[in-house]
């Protein structure tokens, strides 16, 4: 054989020929895998054409609309009967046949609201709702229709601040969580209603030991950016403490916590919405459970995100303390949106069943502590992992959805099927491949647009359910 040196053009043609052969084979081959023998399998890329329907561009910053405009928009949407039926089929909250009351208590609480009363909705969830994703849609709907302002409950050191609130801190802060590792927990299991508490380290310097500030930012809905009523929740005193409240850079109030004080809260009310609230802490830190940024009346909706939580840690908290914290608020609805963090770790149906046994104890706890509130369980979304060259749904995501639905029905609480809303198995891949995408490249979390879509589907389901009591 003659030994010849190949030039760059010949080498390029050779490799392009190989790519062309593999491409034609992938197109003609219906399977992603070609088994050579029992020990060797060749995986080839696949051609797939996905036809996507265009999604209307909608701004994430949405200002208030007049009541007349809202009515017109509602009437316009109702003219499309086919779209309405599809939306109801996918997003309506389901209940056990034995649950004849459904959300009647919540509906009655909303009817009783006036210019002097308020009602809270607690939206608990994992990182899927972090940063007020989905909750912001729920809040805006209820505040538009039943009155209210403010962004609701805020942790003093959140991982991700809310869309409506710019949040800054100074000082050395410690975060304790009910759903974390043992060395992250509060010793007595006292966390307030959020499952998270904070302390700061005394600096022994001139000036404040720690500072937190909150102010509205443009990414939130208009009503959520107006704060007039503030309540700071704290645990028992660990020594003298001075708290200076600043409204719009002006010293507003000074509060003191003496060495013998028990747990409680400080409440401040402004005659006009505050553009920036700053708190300066000087002295020994008690456990600080958070602060609510509310309006003077109407509906307050809290985004309580618990990153990494399975939703089964509420029963690990001090029950009496949690009970007292929940009693501080008139609560109409508790939303429990969990399951996703557990899905990747299940290896058998038995492990899913054990999760259901644990989750039912959380529902029973809230029913015992807040008997007047209704409860809505939101199941997990579809989630995918990479198997070879393809993204596929986790094997037990359907079983987790099913056990959470069964538990909800057994306990006579509502259930919203997020897995079905997305399209069940394989839908996460479709959501990622939308243009623009509705889910992120981790194939677990929604993009802001996807979270908005889900939030509005939850709102549509709540609106439809409440309309049945009119």
Using one digit for the tens of pLDDT, what is the confidence trace for 173-208?
999 999 988 888 999 999 999 999 999 999 988 889
Asked whether residue 270 falls in the same domain as residue 332, the answer is: no
Asked whether residue 335 falls in the same domain as residue 467, the answer is: yes
Asked whether residue 186 falls in the same domain as residue 274, the answer is: yes
Token pair in block for residue 403:
């056990």
Q: Is residue 2 part of a domain?
A: no
CB atoms within 10 A of CB 283: 18
Q: Is residue 234 part of a domain?
A: yes
Q: Is residue 59 part of a domain?
A: no
- pLDDT: is 220 or 435 the higher one? 435
Asked whether residue 219 falls in the same domain as residue 284, the answer is: yes
* Nearest CA among 74, 131, 185 for reference residue 304: 131
Asked whether residue 143 falls in the same domain as residue 154, the answer is: no
Mean pLDDT of the chain: 85
Using one digit for the tens of pLDDT, what is the confidence trace for 24-37?
554 444 334 443 33
Is 305's pLDDT higher than 90? yes
The mean pLDDT of 299-304, rounded to a whole number, is 97
User: Among 66-75, 147-156, 266-275, 446-455, which stretch is predicted with the lowest mean pLDDT?
Assistant: 66-75
CA atoms within 13 A on the CB side of 355: 29
Asked whether residue 136 falls in the same domain as residue 156, the answer is: no
Q: Provide DSSP, 344-412.
A: GG--SHHHHHHHHHHHHHHHHHHHHH-TTSEEEEE-PPP-EEEETTEEEE-TTHHHHHHHHHHHHHHTT
Contact 436, 447 (CB under 8 A): yes
Question: What is the CATH number for 281?
Answer: 2.60.120.1360
Q: Is residue 450 part of a domain?
A: yes
Q: Is residue 221 part of a domain?
A: yes
Asked whether residue 120 falls in the same domain as residue 189, the answer is: no
The number of angstroms, rounded, from the C-alpha of 83 to the middle of its chain's C-alpha atoms is: 26
- pLDDT: is 259 or 57 the higher one? 259
Q: Is residue 52 part of a domain?
A: no
Q: Which of 242, 277, 296 is the last residue of a domain?
A: 296
Number of domains in the chain: 3
Q: What is the pLDDT of residue 152?
A: 96
Q: What is the pLDDT of residue 220?
A: 86
E strand or H helix at 332, and its extent? strand 331-337
Instruction: Answer yes or no: pTM beyond 0.75.
Output: yes
Asked whether residue 231 falls in the same domain as residue 261, the answer is: yes
Domain that holds residue 164: 150-296
Cα-based angle 251, 256, 258 (whole degrees, multiple of 5): 170
Asked whether residue 384 falls in the same domain as residue 460, the answer is: yes
Please tell me the distance from the alpha carbon of residue 150 to that of residue 143, in angstroms, as a whole number: 9
Q: Which of 296, 327, 343 is the last residue of a domain?
A: 296
Asked whether residue 404 falls in the same domain as residue 320, the answer is: yes
Asked whether residue 312 falls in the same domain as residue 166, the answer is: no
Question: What is the CATH number for 114?
Answer: 3.40.50.1110
With the C-alpha atoms ordered 96, 101, 106, 111, is the resulting torsion angle positive or negative?
A: positive
Q: Is residue 50 part of a domain?
A: no
Three-class SS state of 253: strand
Q: What is the pLDDT of residue 29?
A: 44
Residue 415 has phi, psi (to 5 degrees) of -135, 130
Please tell me the distance from the alpha carbon of residue 231 to that of residue 266, in angstroms, as a whole number: 5
* Nearest CA among 102, 74, 106, 104 for reference residue 87: 74
The mean pLDDT of 134-140, rounded to a whole number, is 97
Please tell me the distance from the alpha carbon of residue 62 to that of residue 446, in angstroms, as a whole number: 19
Q: Terminal CA-to-CA distance of the chain, rounded, Å? A: 91
Asked whether residue 170 falls in the same domain as residue 138, the answer is: no
Q: What is the pLDDT of residue 8?
A: 66
Is 323's pLDDT higher than 70? yes
With the C-alpha atoms ordered 400, 326, 143, 129, is the resulting torsion angle positive or negative?
A: negative
Q: Which of 238, 268, 296 is the last residue of a domain?
A: 296
Q: Is residue 65 part of a domain?
A: no
């Amino acid at each position: 054989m003659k030994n010849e040196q190949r030039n760059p053009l010949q080498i390029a043609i050779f490799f392009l020929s190989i790519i062309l052969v593999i491409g034609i084979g992938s197109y003609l081959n219906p399977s992603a895998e070609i088994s050579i023998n029992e020990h060797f399998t060749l995986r080839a890329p696949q051609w797939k054409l996905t036809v996507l329907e265009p999604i209307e561009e909608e701004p994430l910053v949405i200002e208030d609309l007049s009541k007349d405009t809202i009515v017109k928009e509602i009437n316009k949407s109702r003219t499309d009967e086919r779209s309405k039926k599809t939306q109801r089929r996918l997003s309506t909250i389901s209940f056990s046949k034995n649950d004849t009351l459904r959300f009647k208590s919540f509906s009655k609480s909303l009817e009783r609201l006036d210019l002097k009363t308020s009602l809270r909705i607690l939206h608990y969830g994992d990182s899927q709702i972090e940063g007020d994703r989905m909750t912001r849609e729920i809040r805006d709907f209820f505040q538009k229709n039943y009155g209210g302002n403010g962004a609701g409950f805020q942790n003093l050191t959140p991982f991700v601040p809310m869309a409506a609130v710019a949040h800054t801190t100074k000082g050395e802060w410690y975060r304790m969580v009910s759903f974390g590792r043992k060395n992250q927990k509060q010793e007595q299991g006292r966390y307030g209603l959020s499952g998270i508490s904070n302390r700061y380290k005394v600096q022994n310097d001139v000036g404040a030991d720690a500072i937190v500030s909150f102010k509205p930012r443009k990414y939130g809905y208009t009503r959520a950016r107006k704060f007039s009523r503030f309540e700071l929740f704290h645990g028992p005193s660990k020594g003298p403490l001075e708290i200076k409240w600043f409204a719009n850079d002006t010293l507003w109030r000074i509060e003191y916590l003496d060495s013998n004080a028990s747990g409680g809260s400080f409440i401040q009310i402004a005659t006009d919405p505050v553009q920036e609230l700053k708190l300066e802490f000087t002295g020994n830190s008690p456990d600080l459970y958070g602060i609510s940024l509310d309006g003077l009346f109407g509906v307050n909706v809290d985004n309580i995100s618990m990153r990494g939580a399975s939703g089964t840690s509420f029963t690990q908290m001090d029950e009496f303390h949690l009970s007292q914290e929940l009693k501080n608020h008139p609560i109409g609805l508790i939303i429990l949106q969990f399951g996703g963090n557990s899905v990747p770790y299940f290896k058998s149906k038995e492990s899913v069943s054990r999760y259901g046994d644990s989750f039912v104890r959380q529902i029973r706890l809230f029913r015992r502590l807040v008997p007047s509130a209704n409860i809505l369980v939101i199941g997990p979304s579809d989630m995918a992992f990479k198997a070879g060259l393809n993204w596929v749904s986790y094997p037990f995501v359907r079983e987790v959805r099913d056990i959470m639905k069964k538990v909800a029905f057994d306990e006579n609480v509502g259930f919203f099927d997020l897995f079905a809303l997305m399209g069940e198995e394989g839908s996460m891949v479709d959501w990622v491949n939308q243009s623009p995408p509705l889910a992120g490249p981790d194939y677990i979390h929604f993009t802001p647009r996807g979270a908005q879509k889900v939030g509005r589907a939850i709102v549509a389901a709540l609106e439809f359910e409440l309309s049945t009591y009119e």
